């Protein structure tokens, strides 16, 4: 199937799917971040539950630029809702990267689509990387958000322990693979129709 430019109907679909993806991510991520114990699992939880949405998105809009739009829309929503700026940046950059990976397989390669999803699933780490790279700036940001005393220890651990972030990334990638495989199983008929193998 020849790749074509995005049309008006595609942008409507992009808006709908981006909204669904964002709602699932915000709800799941919000629940995961409610306690210090589950706080580090936010990216993994999102990766597990948004896999089906991502896979359907790629199957329904197999065109270059669609995933970039998803990243940009996600980044804008995160910025508007007051998230740390690096999270918005990660969504945009990883959306572009995911777009390029899917396009390299003409959106028909499940392996490349899954790889793209694994990359996209790392975007929420824009909320955790600053804990290690920009601790002072992130602490100031968190203090403006209100009483975060209950999370100070876990934030400090993530920011200072050399193994925590790599472990979180590994768990997130595993959940992304599982989420993508679940999406493939649920959407088998859509994949066959779209020629995704």
- Cα–Cα distance between 31 and 92 in angstroms, integer? 24
Q: Confidence class of residue 191 from pLDDT cuts 50, 70 and 90? A: low
Range of the domain at 190: 8-194
Query: For 7-33, what is the mean pLDDT?
Result: 94
What is the pTM (predicted TM-score) of this model? 0.91
1 lies in some domain = no
Domain count, the chain: 1
What's the 3-state SS for 111-148? HHHHHHHHHHCCHHHHHCHHHHHCHHHHHHHHHHHCCC
Average pLDDT, the chain: 92
With cut-offs at 50, 70 and 90, classify the pLDDT of residue 4: confident
What is the predicted pLDDT for the residue at 2? 47
139-169, pLDDT tens digit by residue? 889 888 876 788 889 999 999 999 999 999 9
The answer to whether residue 3 is domain-embedded is no
Instruction: Map residue 88 onto helix, strand or coil.
Output: helix
Does 2 fall in a domain?
A: no
């Amino acid at each position: 199937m020849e790749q074509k430019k995005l049309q008006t109907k595609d942008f409507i679909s992009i808006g709908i799917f981006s909204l669904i993806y964002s709602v699932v991510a915000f709800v799941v991520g919000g629940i995961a971040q409610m306690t210090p114990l589950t706080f580090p699992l936010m990216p993994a939880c999102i990766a597990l539950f948004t896999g089906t949405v991502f896979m359907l998105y790629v199957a329904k809009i197999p065109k270059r630029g669609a995933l970039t739009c998803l990243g940009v829309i996600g980044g804008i929503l995160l910025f508007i809702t007051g998230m740390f700026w690096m999270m918005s940046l990660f969504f945009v950059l990883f959306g572009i990267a995911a777009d390029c990976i899917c396009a390299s397989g003409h959106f028909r390669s499940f392996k490349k689509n899954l790889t793209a999803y694994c990359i996209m699933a790392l975007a929420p780490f824009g909320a955790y990387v600053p804990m290690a790279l920009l601790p002072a700036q992130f602490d100031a940001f968190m203090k403006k958000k209100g009483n975060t005393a209950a999370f100070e220890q876990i934030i400090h651990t993530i920011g200072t322990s050399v193994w925590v972030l790599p472990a979180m990334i590994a768990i997130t990638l595993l959940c992304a693979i599982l989420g993508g495989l679940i999406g493939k199983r649920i959407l088998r008929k859509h994949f066959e129709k779209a020629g995704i193998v």
